[in-house]
Amino acid sequence: MEQYIIKNVEALWPKINTTYHFDSNEGRSVPCEPNAQNAEYSIQFRMDNATAKGLFTAMSECYQANKKDKWADKLERTFVKDDDGMFTHKANLKGAYKNEVTKKPLQVDANNNKLPDEFLLTTGSTVNIAVQFVPYDMGGKQNVSLRLKAVQVIKYVPMEERNPFEATDGFVFNKTEDNPFTEDAVAEPKKVVKKPSPPTKDADDDLSSIVDDWDD
């Protein structure tokens, strides 16, 4: 199986921190054990025309070198072309093959430092993806799958907290309330008017003078 690196593509819905499978009760992909049914690591990615063409060319060469009798003469293009001219494809890795758990795809940063196992790659991040080409024949249809091996994060987009609501009339939190550091909360200090001191004994004159100097 040939290895190929897809460079500078946009990550879409990456699920690499653990294996996932689709839960029909929840209507979405959820984390699962590697040997659960349909468990896999996966990442979809968007790429420009030149990157897509280079990838398809390499996949076609692999197909031609490994195709068997009665296979189609040419590789069918399974890329999805978006309205903006970009292309989308997917790489994945099953959680287990023949009940043997697979090795988790490697995730590294731009300097090749290994990322923690629990690292959550985000949609919109720019990545390089290492895959292996796997020609296959399934149900009379032949193609080349992209087996996910590793991901290098070139540019990480921080995850944003999703807010399901729209703005509406009602309670508005006053950020300046009880905050002594905002401009509105900082009032100009009041001037202190010194009252004349009552006459005292000569012994207190020096002390009054010191206090007056401090206030000045």
Q: So what's the pLDDT on residue 159?
A: 81
Q: So what's the pLDDT on residue 190?
A: 59
CB 133 within 8 A of CB 4: yes
Question: In 3D, which of 120, 149, 145 has the Cα closest to residue 135?
Answer: 145
Tokens of 201: 């004994």
CB 45 within 8 A of CB 7: no
- Using DSSP bridges, classify how beta strands 96-97 and 3-23 pair: parallel, antiparallel or unpaired: unpaired
- Measure the CA–CA gap between 20 and 179, rounded to whole angstroms: 45
- Measure the CA–CA gap between 175 and 102, rounded to whole angstroms: 51
- Measure the CA–CA gap between 17 and 159, rounded to whole angstroms: 15
Q: So what's the pLDDT on residue 213?
A: 44
Query: Alpha carbon of 145 to those of 26, 39, 111, 141: distances in Å?
Result: 28, 16, 28, 12
Tokens 């944003």, located at residue:
160
CB 152 within 8 A of CB 110: yes
Write out the chain's pLDDT in tens, 216 residues: 679 999 999 999 999 999 999 999 889 999 999 999 999 999 999 999 999 999 999 999 999 999 999 999 999 999 999 999 999 999 999 999 988 999 999 999 999 999 999 999 999 999 999 999 999 999 889 999 999 999 999 999 998 766 778 888 888 776 555 555 555 555 555 565 666 665 555 545 544 554 454 444
Q: So what's the pLDDT on residue 131?
A: 98
Q: So what's the pLDDT on residue 2?
A: 74
Task: For residue 204, give the 3-state DSSP assignment.
Answer: helix
Does domain 3-155 sit in CATH 3.10.520.10? no
- Torsion (CA) 102, 108, 113, 116 in degrees, nearest 10: -60
Task: For residue 188, give the 3-state DSSP assignment.
Answer: coil
Query: Alpha carbon of 40 to those of 12, 14, 31, 80, 122: distances in Å?
Result: 15, 11, 9, 21, 17
| Rg (the chain; Cα; Å) | 33
> Domain extents for the chain?
3-155
